[in-house]
Amino acid sequence: MLKITNLHAGITGQEILRGVDLEVATGQVHAIMGPNGSGKSTLAKVLAGDESYEVTAGSVSFRGEDLLEQEPHERSRNGLFLAFQYPVEISGVTIANFLRTALNARRENPMSAMEFYGLLQDRLKELKLDDSWSTRYLNDGFSGGEKKKNEILQMMLLEPTLCLLDETDSGLDVDALKIVSEGVNRMRSPERSIVIVTHYQRLLEYINPDYCHVMLNGRIVQSAPGIDLARRIDEQGYELIREQASV
Amino acid sequence: MSDTQPSAPDLLNIGSYEAGWHDADARYSFKAEPGLNENVVRQMSEMKNEPKWMLDFRLRSLKHFEERPMPWWGGRIDVDFDSIYYYLKPDTGNNRSWDDVPEEMKQTFERLGIPEAERRSLAGVGAQYDSETVYHNLKKEWEEAGVVFLDMDSGLREHEDVVREHFGTVIPPEDNKFSALNSAVWSGGSFVYVPKGVKIDIPLQAYFRINADKAGQFERTLIIADEGAFVHYIEGCTAPTWTSDSLHSAVVEIIAKPGSRIRYSTVQNWSNSVYNLVTKRAVAMEGSTVEWLDGNIGSQLTMKYPSVMLVGEGARGEVMSIAYAQDGQHQDTGAKMVHVAPGTTSRIIAKSISRGLGRSTYRGLVRIHNGARGAKSSVDCDALLLDRNSRTDTYPYIEVEEDSASVGHEARVSKVSEQQMFYLMQRGIEESEALALIVNGFIEPITKQLPLEYAVELNRLIELEMEGSVG
Ligand SMILES: Nc1ncnc2c1ncn2[C@@H]1O[C@H](COP(=O)(O)OP(=O)(O)OP(=O)(O)O)[C@@H](O)[C@H]1O
Ligand SMILES: [Mg+2]
């Protein structure tokens, strides 16, 4: 599904990603942890095509194609979805209008309004969101947790093949965390891969990732199957990993 | 979309000005000599069989137009008044049945969606082609209730007393150079009268189109809502893309009697060559409400500041305006609220979008006279810049003579953020469509006030404007 090889990227005058290697097979769920500022969000945004970052070396293949060649909207249409750590507010654009535009952008024949609203209602129900949600302006005045739920709503509607979740669990209350993790679990399928960036092992306990990775200073420095690595970090912090990485 | 392309298409605008075709074989039964003089005015008035007082009114206006200097403020007006045709009479009368309208003209209006609009059950539709109104209709039920919706010329013929009493009282010819011009050579436009207590629950619609090269269009509209009446009047305008300049200079007078409410909505979509210099003013009496909703897309220069004179206690005025300026265009728009009576309130919401080298200016005046106790006004100006070179200016004049009045003013300038664009594109939305979404979101507080089909149309126009604007 996704193969990142020696990826270097940054902003002018500052390298943030310093040689990332990561491979995610189809159907797998991977977790990426790492201290603040280690480059996790940068990696996610570079994969999604954020032009404020410059890729200086390395390659990324996504579903067998060169990802870095593609425009952001093409990456999305090819199945890559990023749930943003900090979703942007766009006033005046209703969630319904936005989602319909996004959905139709990837279809040859536009979905009828009836069909769309049916679909939207189902997804809202799954996330225990009120119908009136769809008439709210995109993230405008949303609480932190509401913004995260809104990202999951989009993901469930667009049904991507690769989901990148950047700290979607941060700022969620216990009930919301449960709803969101159920949502993620429902998205789990043999055809879909999920990469979860998180600081807490809590979400991972619900989701049971196939792999955990630790990012440090713009590199993946440790990887292990299952959830063990996440548990260890939760208990011990990053000190040990830092020491190991510096030798 | 078109069988007759303009000879030198402006590459930047391809695909964005959809109404940019013209009828090559439009016939005119009368075309005055270009240029303006007493002869043209007399000829015109005679052909229209007007009463003497109207001819005198025209001549007095002409004199004032000639004497009055160009406004020193606003945009650059570079009109060659001598090359403009001031009166073009299409070769047809004013028809009541759509079937009687000549074929080419019908096609023109079909393309603009006029009969469709009527089918969508508007209360009445009037359509003007160059100088004369060619089609007019009002639903029978409203006619029976005493509602009058006629083109201005017929209004003058059939309701001379009412017209004479009100015509030119809200906007006298001497108000400004262009109101003088319009008063001298006006033709067409609408005359609306809604009797006491009659509330028309669906909009009346008028459509104006400049078809001829170097044509001037000077429609004149007078709307009177009697006590407790309600009417929503909608006007739409287009002109084909001509290379030489056309002049559109309308005058709209509104009289809202006590307790009435009038809403006037315009969506204007002019091609690049048009000068759009329009005077719109309302008088709002006791407890009445006047709302102007004004969308301006295109034109070389638009100067338009809908106003409300709040002369009756508790009267309310509102202007919501949208201006969109792209390369080679200057939108100098705004609003004017004059509070004369106590307890009057007004609200101005102005949103402008500038793209490329487009320039938008907000120019507004709120004046609260001594004695307008407890008057309240709020002004909100929002400018959105799409490019680094786009330009916007704000001139909000506020004059308050009354201590108990309160006036609030806010102005914001924003840019489309790269973060917003990236967010939308990450969901598979193309750059131009993402931009259109953001722009439509920006004007949404105003478009949501429009009837659905107009809101959709306006959003569609914005989408067309955005195509080819990025890349
Ligand atoms: N656009 C930017 N401009 C300037 N610095 C940036 C930019 N993006 C990232 N950085 C810097 O790069 C480093 C990595 O940032 P990034 O957001 O990727 O970290 P992170 O691992 O996601 O951290 P957190 O866990 O706090 O979300 C930080 O030092 C950050 O300040
Ligand atoms: Mg981050």
pLDDT digits (tens, 9 = 90+) for B33-87: 778 899 989 998 998 899 999 999 999 999 999 999 888 777 788 878 888 888 7
Beta-carbon contacts of residue A63 (< 8 Å; ≥ 6 apart): A1, A78, A79, A161, A162
Nearest of B262, B257, B276 to residue B234 by alpha carbon: B262
* pLDDT attached to residue B10: 31
Higher pLDDT, A39 or B97: A39
CB A47, CB A84: distance < 8 Å: no
Q: Domain of A14: which CATH number?
A: 3.40.50.300
* pLDDT attached to residue B53: 97
Give the CA dihedral B174, B180, B182, B183, nearest 10 degrees: 60
Per-residue pLDDT of B303-345, as tens digits, reads 999 999 999 999 999 999 999 998 889 999 999 999 999 999 9
Q: Give the mean model confidence (pLDDT) for residues B89-103.
A: 61
Q: Do B422 and A50 touch (CB under 8 A)?
A: yes
The separation between the first and the last C-alpha atoms of chain A, rounded to the nearest angstrom, is: 32
Q: Which of A51, A72, A101 sits opposite B437 (nearest CB)?
A: A101
Per-residue pLDDT of B118-159, as tens digits, reads 555 455 666 666 666 665 667 778 888 999 988 899 899 999
Q: State how far residue B417 is from chain A, nearest Cα, in angstroms.
A: 10
In a domain, A24, yes or no: yes
Q: Which residue is closest to B430 within chain A, CA to CA?
A: A73
* 3-class secondary-structure state, position B12: helix
Q: Nearest C-alpha to atom 30 of ligand 1 is from which residue?
A: A37
Rounded to whole angstroms, the Cα distance separating B412 from B290 reads 26
Determine the distance separating the centroid of ligand 2 and the alpha carbon of A36, expressed in angstroms: 7
The DSSP annotation for B349-389 comes to EEEEEE-TT-EEEEEEEEEE-TT-TT-EEEEEEEEEE-STT
Q: Are residues A236 and A191 in the same domain?
A: yes
In a domain, A80, yes or no: yes
Rounded to whole angstroms, the Cα distance separating B268 from B58 reads 27
- Count structural domains, chain A: 2
Higher pLDDT, B111 or B50: B50
In a domain, A148, yes or no: no
Higher pLDDT, B282 or B108: B282
Question: Residue B368 forms beta bridges with which residues?
Answer: B339, B400
Higher pLDDT, B451 or B318: B318
* pLDDT attached to residue B468: 53
Q: Do A49 and B425 touch (CB under 8 A)?
A: yes
- Of A104-113, B84-93, B157-166, B266-275, the range with the lowest mean pLDDT is B84-93
Q: Do B430 and A98 touch (CB under 8 A)?
A: no
Q: Are residues A176 and A62 in the same domain?
A: yes
Rounded to whole angstroms, the Cα distance separating B259 from B450 reads 22
Q: Is the CB of A52 under 6 A from ligand 1?
A: yes
Range of the domain at A137: 88-141
* pLDDT attached to residue B370: 96
* pLDDT attached to residue B8: 31
Starting at the edge strand that comes first in sequence, how are the strands of the sheet with B124-129 ordered? B132-138, B124-129, B204-209, B230-238, B261-270, B289-298, B316-325, B345-354, B376-385, B406-415
Strand A2-11 and strand A54-62: pairing? antiparallel
pLDDT band (50, 70, 90) for residue B103:
low
Q: If you average pLDDT over every residue of chain B, what do you get?
A: 83
Rounded to whole angstroms, the Cα distance separating A75 from A59 reads 15
CB B220, CB B182: distance < 8 Å: yes
Q: Which of A50, A71, A154 sits opposite B427 (nearest CB)?
A: A154
pTM for the full model? Answer: 0.81
Distances (CA, A) of B469 to B36, B386, B387: 39, 10, 10
Q: Are residues A166 and A241 in the same domain?
A: yes
In a domain, A203, yes or no: yes
Q: Are residues A166 and A80 in the same domain?
A: yes
Rounded to whole angstroms, the Cα distance separating B287 from B284 reads 8
A108 and chain B in contact, CB less than 8 A:
no
* pLDDT attached to residue B220: 94
Q: Which ligand is nearest to the CA of A166?
A: 2
A98 neighbourhood in chain B, CB within 8 Å:
424, 427, 437
Q: Are residues A234 and A177 in the same domain?
A: yes
CA B67 to chain centre: 26
Q: Do B428 and A73 touch (CB under 8 A)?
A: yes
In a domain, A38, yes or no: yes
In a domain, A154, yes or no: no
User: Which value, in Å, is the radius of gyration of the alpha carbons in chain A?
Assistant: 18
Rounded to whole angstroms, the Cα distance separating A125 from A139 reads 19
A105 and chain B in contact, CB less than 8 A:
yes
Rounded to whole angstroms, the Cα distance separating B29 from B44 reads 13
The DSSP annotation for B232-250 comes to EEEEEEE----SS-EEE--
B388 and chain A in contact, CB less than 8 A:
no
In a domain, A152, yes or no: no
In a domain, A151, yes or no: no
Interior/surface letters A121-130, b for 16+ CB within 10 angstroms, e for the rest: eebbeebebe
Q: Are residues A72 and A189 in the same domain?
A: yes
B177-185 helix and B52-67 helix, angle to the nearest 10 degrees: 150
Per-residue pLDDT of B273-306, as tens digits, reads 888 999 999 999 999 999 999 988 888 899 999 9
Q: Is the CB of A10 under 6 A from ligand 1?
A: no
- Tens of each residue's pLDDT in chain A, 247 residues: 999 999 999 998 899 999 999 999 999 999 999 999 999 999 999 999 999 999 999 999 999 999 999 999 999 999 999 999 999 999 999 999 999 999 999 998 988 888 999 999 999 999 999 989 999 999 999 999 999 999 999 999 999 999 999 999 988 999 889 988 998 999 999 999 999 999 988 889 999 999 999 999 999 999 999 999 999 998 989 988 888 877 5
Give burial (CB, 10 Å; 0-12/13-18/19+) of B329.
buried
3-state percent breakdown (helix, strand, coil) of chain B, nearest 5: 25, 35, 35
* pLDDT attached to residue B77: 81
Q: Is the pLDDT of residue B12 over 50?
A: no
Q: Is the pLDDT of residue B231 over 60?
A: yes
